[in-house]
Structure 1
Amino acid sequence: MSRTPDPLIDRFLDALWLEKGLSDNTRSAYRTDLSLFDDWLHARGGNLLAAGREAILDHLAWRLAQGYKARSTARLLSGLRGFYRYLVREGLLEADPTLRVELPHIGQPLPKSLSEAQVEALLAAPDVDDPLGLRDRAMLEVLYACGLRVTELVSLTLEQVSLRQGVLRTFGKGSKERLVPLGLEAIHWLEHYLAQGRAALLGGRPSDVLFPSQRGQMMTRQTFWYRIKLHAAAAGIGSGLSPHTLRHAFATHLLNHGADLRTVQMLLGHSNLSTTQIYTHVARARLQQLHAEHHPRG
């Protein structure tokens, strides 16, 4: 039987939600990491409150031996630092054991992207004579036009989109709001989908979800990822896709067409410019005009 994680973990995650508004996915990842560390300590006769710097270093070494990637271990250490700072702040610990623990070195792997021709093929893959295919075409167009995260895309509601103004409002990590231009192609396919596809999918059921599933509910990230892979196969695009592939293509193609890195940062919803700098290998010019004049489908 699996043991119940230390209740301090849930207290910390609740505090995170209240103070920083981190997404469910981020908090779930922190819960998994902290629970694994808690179990590892318990198996060795320790616990979270008693763990010192040596225990944390031993755990990092254990993860390395188990084949965990440096990036996931960096995320673990980030969670541990936040957790132990919280314990010190709450008066449960006198000293933070993570203070002299360094992050493992993480390279900056370039995100896998698609060429503009591959994107065109992917966008053209859905059968737009079918309501489901028309929905998928509109979703792919919006995903590429706006560089959204998949979670942001599937959670869009009708009121978040203004076709008249040509923008959508989305809420990214930490519930941070941003406005993103749609571009002419995305607007065209959204109008087509709203006029001819959405009502057929809903079948008379009330919903404010922009892209409902066949059951009239909000689509899951996993379902949309399955749909992307289905259309990628039809477009002749092989392996290497991820749920973020079109987001990476959005950033890469904007930079290729002259967009400024800080503008791409704003459109992607990155709080730190260093997160966006992984795309600088494709930057060839600086931004001179607005998104609609640079984006390949604007």
Structure 2
Amino acid sequence: MIDVYVDEYITFLKIEKGLSSASLSSYRQDLKHYTNYLADNNIKSLDNVDTEVLIQFIKFLTDKGLSAQTISRTQSTLRNFHHFLLNQNIIEVNPAVKLTAVRGEKKLPEYLTIEEMEILLNTPDASPAGLRDNTLMEVLYASGIRVSELISIKRADINTEMGFIRVSGKGSKERIVPITDFVAKKLDHYVAEVRPYLLKTDDNDDLFITNRGRGFTRQGLWKTIKKYELLSGIRKNITPHTFRHSFATHLIENGADLRAVQEMLGHSDISTTQIYTQISTTKIREMYKQFHPRK
């Protein structure tokens, strides 16, 4: 019966909250671990779940070696799930409300320096595929959009004359992201000269298409970026998300307003954006230690 409530909750998150497939998958995975634990401990009813049961479950996850970040996310899932059950009158008390939050170490996201980004962007050749790859990487760096947002862009979503791209972010939230004149010209050339060469059928409206004339998948885009990581000789783990981190870091390092960067990234909470100020502070501290005469 508990699995039925999980299904109802996932449906609620999908329909009422508009969460992405990736977020829904994370919630379901967390709750699967939880329901398996309850079953293994012969707890068949949510009426028998109290705060102590949840504490023991968290201890069980900790003993398995899960990271503090994963456990913190699981605790959040439990609080939200039981809050849903409370609102549905399935339980009378939320036993997860007293769970102590686990503060995990926030790893600073890896980014490229401006010089490294310049090398990477100049790596593709002048073939149609190379020009396409250069353009899509320029768009990633110029806009800071997510992988899922890039592969979802249609031709009608770009306005190079006004200098913006319309993207659909998490929870189907639409936002307008500016692009530079430089990138707008690259997009114009790609759409007019390169894309028709790659296009196989007229019914594909995706902006960026593969050599087979289809829209990119997340995996396909990841492979493309890894290809240029290898060719560029840059010894860093470069993924499509690296462009997003580099975009935000470079803007903040050059004095951009934090709220503006938050808006462009599509972050609902500014605390998520603030991690990029930590990167800038860390870099300043490292330079200070390296160059101050009295070390």
Separation (CA, whole Å) in 2 of partners of 1:176 and 1:59: 35
* 1:99 counterpart letter in structure 2: V
Match of 1:209 among 202, 206, 218: 206
Residue 254 of structure 1 pairs with residue 256 of structure 2: no
SS at match of 1:180: strand
Q: Do the aligned partners of residues 185 and 16 (structure 1) sit closer, same or farther apart at CA in structure 2, a change above 3 Å counting?
A: same
Unaligned 5+ segments in structure 2 are 282-295
Normalised to the residue count of structure 1, the TM-score between the two structures is: 0.88
**Offset of residue 212 of structure 1:** 2.1
Aligned residue number for residue 92 of structure 1: 90
Matched residue of 2:150: which SS? helix
Pairwise CA distance, 1:12: 0.5
Asked which structure has the greater CA Rg, the reply is 2
Residue equivalent to 1:167: 164
Structure 1 counterpart of 2:292:
none
Asked whether the equivalents of residues 201 and 213 of structure 2 are also in contact (C-alpha less than 8 Å), the reply is no
Aligned-residue CA RMSD (Å): 1.8
Does residue 273 (structure 1) correspond to residue 270 (structure 2)? The answer is yes
1:149 is matched with: 146
Partner AA of 2:9 in structure 1: F
- Mapped partners of 1:112, 1:12: distance in 2: 35
The Cα shift of 1:60 comes to 1.2
Q: 1:236 aligns with which of 210, 233, 239?
A: 233
- Superposition deviation, residue 172 in structure 1: 1.4
Q: TM-score, normalised by structure 2?
A: 0.89
Against the structure 1 CA distance between its residues 282 and 37, is the aligned structure 2 distance closer, same or farther, given a 3 Å change threshold? closer
Q: What is the identity, as a one-letter code, of the residue corresponding to 2:250?
A: H
Seen in structure 2, the aligned counterparts of structure 1 residues 228 and 47 have a Cα distance that, compared at 3 Å, is farther
> Does structure 2 retain, via aligned residues, the 8 Å contact 1:13–1:31?
yes
Q: Residues of 2 paired with 1:204 and 1:10: CA distance?
A: 40
Q: For the Cα contact (< 8 Å) 1:141–1:185, is it kept in 2?
A: no
Cα distance change, pair 272–26 in 1 and its aligned pair in 2 (3 A): same
Aligned residues: 280
1:252-279 per-residue CA deviation (whole Å, 9 max, x = no partner) reads 1001111011111111111111111111
Stretch moving more, 146-155 or 16-25 = 16-25
Partner of residue 54 from structure 1, selected from 52, 55, 78: 52
SS in 2 for 1:244: helix
8 Å contact from structure 1 (residues 109, 278) kept in 2? no
The match for 2:77 is 79
- The alpha-carbon deviation at position 205 of structure 1 amounts to 4.0
1:15 Cα deviation after fit: 0.8
More helix by share: 2
Residue type of the alignment partner of 1:112 = E
On the 8 A contact 1:201/1:212 being kept in 2, the answer is yes
Contact 2:108 2:279 in 1 (8 A): no
Identity of aligned residues (%): 39
In structure 2, relative to structure 1, the CA distance for the partners of 1:124 and 1:86 (3 Å cut) is same
Question: Deviations 1:121-177 (Å, cap 9, x if unpaired)?
Answer: 111112231x22222111111100000111111111111111111101112112222
Mapping of 1:28-39 within 5 angstroms?
Answer: 28-39=25-36
In 2, are the aligned partners of 1:147 and 1:246 still within 8 Å (CA)?
yes
**Inter-CA distance 5–95: structure 2 relative to 1 (3 Å threshold):** closer
- 5+ residue gaps, structure 1, are 285-298
What SS does the corresponding residue of 2:6 show, helix, strand or coil? helix
Could you tell me how far apart the structure 2 residues matched to 1:148 and 1:47 are?
A: 44
